[in-house]
Amino acid sequence: MLRRSVIAALLFIAPGLALAQNSPTLSVTGDIPMPLTLEAGDLASMPRAKAMVPDAGGNPVEYEGVLLREVLRRAGAPLEGKLRRKALASYLVAKAHDGYQVVFTLGEIDAQFGDNLILIADQRDGAPLPASQGPFRLICPRDKEGARSVRMLETLEFVALK
């Protein structure tokens, strides 16, 4: 009887462990005071924002997620009045699962400078991102070209020039 109970417990627990181990994450690394590893649930609990961008055919698509500057603020990036002097020589490298990388300056992200509303999206038109885009994607609605809208986003590396 004990053996059946143990087997039943393992069958119940094992799928949950597999999901926990395979849960997608977004890492904030580099020259940052508080490096972060965020799971989908962490992003879902942060303040949300939406952005409309056209798809390849010009049709409007609504993305939802968390503002990039909110994640950077939580990691201790020099934003919100702290972006001065040497901090202005900092930048962010956004890295995708397939090796694609793009760069952002803190000046374009900070609300007191460029105020570019860059979104770490986890939803498209009210549903989770398709596998070809997600689980996380940067959305840059003010960019004229979509080249910095990084699909399959995995890492945000903060670099402070010396």
Asked if the structure places residue 42 within a domain, the reply is yes
What distance in Å separates the CA atoms of residue 149 and residue 29, rounded to the nearest whole number? Answer: 19
What distance in Å separates the CA atoms of residue 151 and residue 11, rounded to the nearest whole number? Answer: 35
Asked if the structure places residue 18 within a domain, the reply is no
Summary count for the chain: helices (H), strands (E): 4, 10
Do 109 and 118 meet the contact criterion of CB atoms below 8 Å apart? yes
Asked if the structure places residue 12 within a domain, the reply is no
Angle at the Cα of 48 (from 42 to 69), degrees rounded to 5?
80
| Overall domain count for the chain | 1
Asked if the structure places residue 7 within a domain, the reply is no
Asked if the structure places residue 37 within a domain, the reply is yes
- What does the pLDDT look like over 107-160, one tens digit per residue? 888 888 777 889 999 999 999 999 999 999 999 998 887 788 999 999 999 998
DSSP symbols for 118-158: -EEEEEETTEEPPTTT-S-EEE-TT-SSSTTS-SSEEEEEE
pLDDT at position 13 is 45
What distance in Å separates the CA atoms of residue 156 and residue 146, rounded to the nearest whole number? Answer: 18
Asked if the structure places residue 123 within a domain, the reply is yes
Q: What is the pTM of this model?
A: 0.82
Do 106 and 119 meet the contact criterion of CB atoms below 8 Å apart? no
What distance in Å separates the CA atoms of residue 157 and residue 35, rounded to the nearest whole number? Answer: 9
- What does the pLDDT look like over 57-80, one tens digit per residue? 889 999 999 999 999 999 999 888
Asked if the structure places residue 31 within a domain, the reply is yes
pLDDT at position 40 is 94
Asked if the structure places residue 6 within a domain, the reply is no
- The least confident of 14-23, 34-43, 60-69 is 14-23
Domain of 61 in residue numbering reads as 24-160
What distance in Å separates the CA atoms of residue 112 and residue 108, rounded to the nearest whole number? Answer: 9
Q: What is the CATH number of the domain that holds 72?
A: 3.90.420.10
Burial of residue 37, with CB atoms counted within 10 A of its CB: 0-12 exposed, 13-18 middle, 19 or more buried? exposed
